[in-house]
Chain A
């Protein structure tokens, strides 16, 4: 057991370890050939940065430890954040980085998923032609995994954001939807509240003076959220009752975009069609078109790639554009052997907005398939 590592019962000793080292070197050599500079971020990260970015949920997924001086530290749950920080501090654009090392994840008891595993990754920070850069990363991962018999999945969270824009609704409501793109259940709840105009009608019918009196009768000022904030929100809620409900056509469009599944080409056709009535979707369609052309130019059959608009929606928070995964359909016990995508929103949250796209390969999962086959 002591020689076991993620997906490889003998991965820490002898030939198992050698095979792994050879595979990691092969991938790192490929990434270096693609122009990447090697980086090695620290394993202990500032917990505040990750908490700000991912919210409290990250505590359930990462190991937290305490330093008497530095405060809360987290064992690196991924490389994206520290690599982005390194780039922001030292890098000049455009830049390509490669890295290899362990990440640590807390797992639900009984899930059987490893708490420590290797990632070999590649990231590009480049503000030029997004379609070309997306295609470069995808083509690189395709080449690295060629002949492995893995199924490809792609998606684009930017298409979902475009569908929200295409609803052409009140800015606050659009913001609520955008905020919860990665949480489908909450997204649905938010949509439902748009059509629920009867909830708390008695309260919302009252005047600002009534609300102030009601709040201050209920309780003295308690805590830092003020009566004015309560009243401001009630005013917004009351005003929102006057907004039109989503039309059947709007709902149908949103659902159709969320359900889009097929090839990149069929998705392009579908979005182009929808954009006649919902013009903001035209931009998303153009992005798919540019992606197909860029993938074709990189020597891949872009239009034929599988595409699902909702792919990566629940698992890849902070990816906000093109996303991809390489999976083994015969091995549901394995995570995606590789995954990645565009994360412009993450760099913007960490500091200066730098368009960025990248991905990781899980070499242990990759080798465990070879052992099994």
Chain B
């Protein structure tokens, strides 16, 4: 059974210690430089180290059986929610996907304000209000639910909070945990509910090949975690 873990960083360290409570000890070989590792405590688990951003896709494609990643990435990247089952929220990696605007905009608190500003901005500047994000699908859906028009998404894969100062965007939609980066860049979060509250979660693939052997391992893991079996029902032949 293939278990996908983030290949480095805090998320990986937290995930490793989370698994240890279920008597599953994960160790990285070569002091963590080689992207490989071993699993002790439950036979038959093969570790696959991946970028957290790729884990949703690998789960959806069925190339890994289980994977640890953020809800934000799964919701953004996987259009069909039925192919990935959340097994357990892991209690770390908390972050909110939020909409932020310059603190200078003392006239803006909510999405209602933002919609009004978008209309005025288009009239004043001859272009639509630019929203920088890497969460295109989630943000588009959220803006659409709020009935906001006259905006355009611009792609930003990193340093998103800097796009306003760089004059490549007027608004950002990004993940934040403490809000410190936002504050440092003179931004404030709109008072509406966040687009998404995310945390690290163990997911199971519904499309992976679940053999009797992998099912057995998964069921043993489910028993140790005291959760219901998360493997998809066996296909009728």
Using a CB–CB cutoff of 8 Å, the interface residues on chain A facing chain B are 51, 55-57, 59-60, 108-110, 175-176, 179-180, 183, 185-187, 189, 193, 200, 203, 211, 214-216, 218-225, 227, 229-230, 233-234, 237
Contact = CB atoms under 8 A, between A and B. Distances in A.
Nearest to B169: A223
A57 B121 CA distance: 18
Contacts of A179: 119, 149
Given A55-B150, A193-B112, A222-B164, A60 B141 contact: yes
A176 B116 contact: yes
Contact of A55 (B79, B103, B149, B167): B149
Interface in B67-109: 79-82, 102-107, 109
B140 interface: yes
B115 A225 contact: no
A233 B107 contact: yes
Given A57-B140, A219-B186, A225 B128 contact: no
A223 B167 contact: yes
Interface in B101-149: 102-107, 109, 112, 115-117, 119-121, 124-125, 128, 136-137, 140-141, 143-144, 146-149
B151 interface: yes
Nearest to A224: B167
- Interface of A: prevailing SS: helix
15 contacts: A55-B150, A109-B80, A109-B81, A109-B82, A186-B115, A203-B107, A222-B164, A222-B187, A223-B102, A225-B117, A225-B170, A229-B120, A229-B121, A230-B105, A233-B120
A230 B106 contact: yes
Interface hub of B82, B137, B148 (most chain A Cβ within 10 A): B148
Given A109-B80, A110-B80, A225-B170, A218 B147 contact: no
Given A218-B186, A230-B106, 8 more contacts: A110-B80, A110-B82, A183-B149, A211-B106, A219-B102, A222-B187, A233-B107, A233-B117
Nearest to A58: B140
A176 B80 CA distance: 36
A51 B170 contact: no
A186 B170 contact: no
Contacts, number: 106
A-B residue pairs, 7 tightest by C-beta: A186-B147, A109-B80, A219-B103, A219-B186, A183-B147, A223-B164, A218-B103
Contacts of B103: 218-219, 222
A189 B147 contact: yes
Contacts of B120: 229, 233
Contacts of B148: 186
Contacts of B140: 56-57, 59-60
Nearest to B144: A57
B151 A56 contact: yes
A215 B101 CA distance: 13
Given A193-B112, A225-B170, A220 B105 contact: no
A346 B124 CA distance: 21
B153 interface: yes
B188 to A, nearest CB: 8
A83 to B, nearest CB: 24
B10 interface: no
A59 B119 CA distance: 20
A184 to B, nearest CB: 8
B152 interface: yes
Contacts of B185: 222
Contacts of A175: 119
Contacts of B146: 186
A362 to B, nearest CB: 24
A358 to B, nearest CB: 24
Nearest to A237: B107
Contact of B104 (A59, A185, A187, A222): A222
Given A60-B140, A186-B115, A203 B153 contact: no
Given A176-B119, A225-B170, A220 B186 contact: yes
A234 B112 contact: no
A218 B79 contact: no
A223 B79 CA distance: 33
Interface centre among B109, B112, B121 (most CB of A within 10 A): B112
A225 B105 contact: yes
